[in-house]
A and B are shown apart, each in its own frame.
Chain A
């Protein structure tokens, strides 16, 4: 199956300084694909190049080299305007307009007719909980309300592809839950989603694919389950009166409030040695043995640190 979006070897550099222009590399040989109907989290540390990638996709910036293919067609000037919805990071729009005026105008710009716009504005205002401020100036709306208006403008024309830059930042837990529900509904509708976020719990709850960037380079691109699957790490729960003597050699021991101990083994061999040690100790009881489940946050930090370690190793040799 052809991917909906195919980004091939994109490089981007921007000029720095005023008189003597040097160039700073922002993106270095970025390639990834987004399959139709998937939800992909685009993650990376600050300055990794997430927003720049989004701007290239939208046609706001032109890459130095590389290709963007959408639905099988090469797009030299960004994605086709009527087929995607874009929410920039922390927008605050025209402060003297009301959400209704803004959404109506943007709906018209997206080629919608008045009847659909009217229904769409009401629908999204109710769904994203900003009906009360629909006819108030945006300057009087809270940051969270403006953020939700920002999401509504990206979705009002029912695009095939949705591009959201930090959609959950600045929202309270209820607002985040509401936006998460909306995103789930959009994926059910058949839309394809690419979003960036620093709130990795939310990203984990929303996405099924992950792309991780570091300093303008892709360090991971693929299924979230393959990223979260344990690379042979185990948690062994046990209780004892006297700690087995050799258990420290095989894993890290932590005592929990219920009095039980959790021992973390980093390989199958360590796991077996810990179990053996517990079974051989009088008064020690083995409670459970579980493969450790990583969170996206752990996987993200592990991946970037591992990458850092490899870089340090490479620089020393």
Chain B
């Protein structure tokens, strides 16, 4: 556990000082300008528009930042040879993957929480906020980001910087349409296409299933059963992805 904690601490400390939060401040400024503009042109329920727009933006920005930060962090660690210094001190290599995930997950969660806090401030300026559904939306956005992080780590272990970014982005986008992909397959008469879309449905992480952003601003209570389901699904999917990632890393020649 000590090894995982130390690697997580290294990762967190390095990433948190990496000008990462400039992105958050840029987002904040953009958000206030948009909110002010919207308030002047909409008739009523301005806060709902700000909430939808803000949470959507946080998700997109968070996903993109996750892909860039996670893959770049791993590549830089390899290029700077820090990876060698860390791995040669470990009895098992999976601890490196676990530590890396925890460190990056903490940085990204902190970033999302900060952005959501700023957005809630912005919403309350223009109207009421339904805290329960807003909290659900923020929590599931963090889970979604962690899922994308696990995918990014998996690809970063097995391909080059550019290819890893491209593949993670592709999975990220496809992961939002898994239901649609399966439905398309079911409508087709081609058994190969049906099998392929079915396989994609089960293999790709279902990012739409962990999205409760649409409920923010409309529902006034916690949807506990849905939250537990999402939490269970996210944790098992992340664990599966990290296991595959560790297996690849364990067998990999670090040249």
Which A residues are within 8 Å of any B CB, using their own CB?
Answer: 14, 52, 55, 58-62, 78, 81, 84, 86, 88-97, 101-102, 105-106, 108-111, 137, 150, 153
Which of B3, B82, B89, B253 has the most A CB atoms < 10 Å from its CB? B89
A272 to chain B, nearest CB (A): 55
Q: Decide if B14 is an interface residue (CB 8 Å cutoff).
A: yes
Q: Which residues of the other chain, A, contact B87 by a CB distance below 8 angstroms?
A: 59-60
Q: Which residues of the other chain, A, contact B89 by a CB distance below 8 angstroms?
A: 81, 106, 109-110
Q: Which residues of the other chain, B, contact A106 by a CB distance below 8 angstroms?
A: 6, 85-86, 89
CA distance A86 to B89 in the complex (A): 9
**Contact count A vs B, C-beta below 8 Å:** 83
Chain B residue, CB-CB nearest to A14: B255
Contact B254 A61 (CB under 8 A): yes
Q: Decide if B162 is an interface residue (CB 8 Å cutoff).
A: no
Contact B86 A109 (CB under 8 A): yes
Which of B14, B77, B81, B88 has the most A CB atoms < 10 Å from its CB? B88
Contact A55 B254 (CB under 8 A): yes
Contact A81 B6 (CB under 8 A): no
- Which 10 pairs across A and B sit closest by C-beta, in order of nearness? A96-B17, A88-B81, A60-B254, A94-B14, A109-B89, A91-B81, A61-B253, A58-B88, A92-B80, A96-B14
B225 to chain A, nearest CB (A): 42
Q: Which residues of the other chain, B, contact A62 by a CB distance below 8 angstroms?
A: 253
Contact A105 B88 (CB under 8 A): no
Known contacts A55-B254, A96-B13, A89 near B88 by CB under 8 Å:
no
30 contacts between A and B (CB under 8 A): A14-B255, A58-B84, A59-B87, A60-B87, A60-B88, A84-B88, A86-B84, A86-B88, A88-B84, A89-B81, A91-B80, A91-B84, A92-B80, A92-B81, A93-B81, A93-B82, A94-B14, A94-B77, A96-B13, A96-B17, A97-B10, A101-B13, A102-B10, A105-B10, A106-B85, A106-B89, A109-B6, A109-B86, A150-B85, A153-B85
Chain B residue, CB-CB nearest to A80: B91
Q: Which residues of the other chain, A, contact B3 by a CB distance below 8 angstroms?
A: 109
| A-B contact sample (12 more), CB < 8 A, given A52-B255, A60-B88 | A59-B88, A62-B253, A86-B85, A91-B81, A91-B82, A92-B81, A93-B81, A95-B80, A105-B9, A109-B3, A109-B90, A150-B85
CA distance A101 to B11 in the complex (A): 12
Contact A94 B88 (CB under 8 A): no
Of B6, B77, B80, the residue contacting A105 (CB under 8 A) is: B6
Q: Which residues of the other chain, A, contact B17 by a CB distance below 8 angstroms?
A: 96, 137
